[in-house]
Amino acid sequence: MINSLPNWLDPTPWIEHSQSTDLQAIKNAIYSDHPGERELALMLSPAARPLLETMAQRAQAITRRHFGRTIALYTPLYLSNYCNGGCLYCGIAADRRAIRAVLNVEQLDRELDAITQAGLDEVVLLTGERMPEADTSYIREAIERASQRLNNINIEVFPMEESEYRSLAEAGCTGVTLYQETYDPIVYEQMHRWGDKRDFESRLDAPHRALQGGLRTVGLGVLLGLADPSADLIALYRHATHLLKTYWQAGVTLSFPRIKPQMGGFQALHPVDESMLAQAIFALRICLPAVPLLLSTREAEAVRNGLAGIGVSKMSVASKTTVGGYSDTAEASTEQFSISDERSIDAFCAMLREKGLEPVFKNYDAIYREPTVYATRS
């Protein structure tokens, strides 16, 4: 286990700014023409909280400039909840008395049909860590079957080798989501008691391997509540900008999951309230104008209603966190975490339209995908 981060990722030089009480410096950061780590840290400081409305207005203007009044929609599909990991914060960790399940081919097809019939065209396929029940070959088959129905297929699974990612790209996978969970190496080691996920460096390098393997997009994120949120968010920003510079034709998205109730009863070590969540999203929108920022159904209706179109440009909808949850075809299984926004697609879209936002179910056709040429990693 490493004890320090590489220089290109280390947030330490900027942490002091996240404790600034200089309101004028924070205002200047909000309206900076070229915001970076320093400006992000200033906007994350507690002293910036009274300026939250100013940040929201700035974030909304930037969001509309780059994404219009649209909200892209997607939904997660849990293929399996088998896992060998020892993550303290997860409801499907290996030592939880969870009811395990994995979709067979027939069940998978019914799940995909249910999602397609709902009008959605983007799915995230999820599993636990690498297991015999859901290994790379299983995920590839799931991608192949999903690509017969959908144009945008992402995976949120275990880290893989470049050759494995290349195989999945050939099968129709368009992107990978892989949260580092926390960029604090010491906290990371404490949270991951055993299993493949203990390998901090392998996980950190996985987005690079995925893009080298031909995937179009990578989704990054931290699990807010594990470590100092300011440090994690600055490191997240640095990770995103590093990938964007290295793979300039690739896409990067950012997510902001907070620790939610799950089997095991883990409590956040550094609680992040709703105001802090909004502050983080506004600050990162100002610093990363063209990067899609995601918000899932982990958050309550009121939070998602308030943040839609104000920094956030992409949201999950009608999510199920159990295996076989869309068509009720699989045996009962334990959910990874509790969702908070259980609205139907119609109800959620009605809310968006009332706010003057347009839900987007489909962004592009697979037939129009162009070959991607990547820069050499620095």
Q: pLDDT digit string (tens) for 69-114? A: 999 999 999 999 999 999 999 888 888 888 899 999 999 999 999 9
Question: Which residues in 351-365 are b (16+ Cβ under 10 Å) and which e?
Answer: bbeeeebebbeeeee
CA atoms within 13 A on the CB side of 287: 25
Confirm if 356 and 69 have CB atoms less than 8 A apart.
yes
Of 15 and 97, the one with more pLDDT: 15
pLDDT exceeds 70 at position 281? yes
Query: How much of the chain, in percent, has pLDDT values that exceed 90?
Result: 83
Average pLDDT over residues 345-350: 96
First to last CA, the chain: 23
Q: Which amino acid is at 324?
A: G
Q: Whose CA is closest to 146, among 220, 75, 72, 73?
A: 75
Q: How is residue 152 annotated by DSSP? A: E
Provide the pLDDT confidence category of residue 4 given band limits of 50, 70 and 90.
confident
pTM of the model: 0.92
pLDDT at 336: 55
Reading the block at residue 75, the tokens are 């939904």
* CATH architecture of the domain with range 63-364: Alpha-Beta Barrel (3.20)
Confirm if 296 and 314 have CB atoms less than 8 A apart.
no
pLDDT digits (tens, 9 = 90+) for 282-311: 999 999 999 999 999 999 999 999 999 999
Provide the pLDDT confidence category of residue 368 given band limits of 50, 70 and 90.
very low
